[in-house]
Structure 1
Amino acid sequence: MLNKLKRGIPLSVLFIPTLFMFSGCTSEPASKNPTYVAAKVNKAQLTDEDVFDSNLNHEITEEDIQRAIAQAEQGFVLPARSPVILVQSGATTPDSEMQLEMSKYYRVSVNSGVPPTKARINRKSDEPVIQNNYMRTLRLVGAKGRQKAIIVYWGTLETGKVDDKTNMTVWSTYTGGKMPSETKSIRYLLRFALVDVKTGNWVTYSPTNTEREFVQSSFNNQSSAGTQATQIDELKRNAYEFASRDLSTRYEKYSR
């Protein structure tokens, strides 16, 4: 049986907006409607191609591979209190809880994590259509704002039920609405990509899954929904607290 995680107490922090960043941004308020989390999950997500600036339209040469190896040998370092751009995939603004936790270790600005709409080609014109890569555009913004790195994260909420035959927990992605009656536990999965503004070098990081028991409410539907939302919010806060602390420790010094 999973032990309940202790709720962390976020500290008050001062956000310092930078040029070309959103000034005074706050995340969307967490509604007590249990579809709140699923609504974010269902939005268009940033893809690896968006974030890693991969150009697969040209031939990859041996020189390309050796150059990438040489760059990777430099490692990835993100010193404490570095100015960073924080992005939540699929959200116009990262969750306020994540902003609070990251601000304990870095100077945080935010940017939209909604994939850009592809430009339509005007067939009547011979002028080429320029469609800049999402990350390359964001690196330019970061360069002008003197940001050190861009931190992108993806979050997925999953529900777990016990399989009667194997007595093991089976996980499935939460899609919104009331939790299935057989739900025994919930977990929040996080994945990060850290991109250096100057070089474009990147690393990926996936912290240990944050899990907790899920307590089904025996009250009316409204109270049950409130209890459900409270448990989800607490789970996410704990996930953000652990991931931010672990990420900062991992990349504060030389890291390969």
Structure 2
Amino acid sequence: MLGLNEALYEYIMDNAPNITDQWINLLGDYKDSIYAEDAGDEMRAKLRKQHRMTIDLVASAILENEEQYNRNVKTWVERVANSRVETNTPIHEVLQAVGKSGTVIWEFIEIFTEERKQEISPVKVIHWSKNLHRALDEVINKFTRFYYELIDRKIKSQREVINKTSSPVIPIMNGIGVFPLVGEISERRAELITADIPQTCKDKGVETLFIDMSGASFTAALAREKLIQMVQVLRMLGIDCAVSGVRPDMALASDGERVIADVIFYNSLQQALAQNGLTRK
């Protein structure tokens, strides 16, 4: 004969389709969301499949099978978090949907308890309630942390793409390119530029690069350090450099020597191009 935990577990699993149907019916108040009815049949089928994972999770908590429970928590958190980030679903909508799941599952536990009230004590019901809330609390806690990590990675990745595409090397004629450095240069963006520009020049066949810094904003110390690193790498690749738009004091070290030997500094890009014979005829 099955114990009460095992009996409730089987009851929940046997009624999983009905539990999901009732959960779906509670989603009618969502608008412009993946949970809304007009999100489409494909999304609704996906939500049903994911809700089955919620049922599995809670049922394993009721069963008190820790190995199965921990595995279900991990699976739920990873799959649902990735799915919600992919669909750009607000986190409060996810938490509301999880809460609705808990409500429906508990209603089925109440039905089971009523059907077997002669053998189920109030203490047992309280114990099941604790297990239910433990499962939902744990999955919400782990979900929100993982969701934040995924969003943070996504934002950083997008920023890196923006930083790279906003710092292009523009070929103006065979072997000659212009690199206009524009906007605020954070330490991270400076690192990306230092790593990316030399390879970009090599890929585009640039032999002489005019670096214009007149549209950039950053501290003198950071500018000097990153400029030195980038130009040194460029010169190691055999690429000549000229720098424009830099204040005179930024082109000099504290002892008055040039920070980069044999690199010419110009007041403006127009002056740099003109001095090198690159003017409109």
TM-score class normalised by the smaller sequence = under 0.3
Larger CA Rg, structure 1 vs 2: 2
TM-score (norm 1): 0.27
Tell which has more relative contact order, 1 or 2 (C-alpha 8 A, sep 6+). Answer: 1
TM-score (norm 2): 0.25
Richer in strand (by share): 1
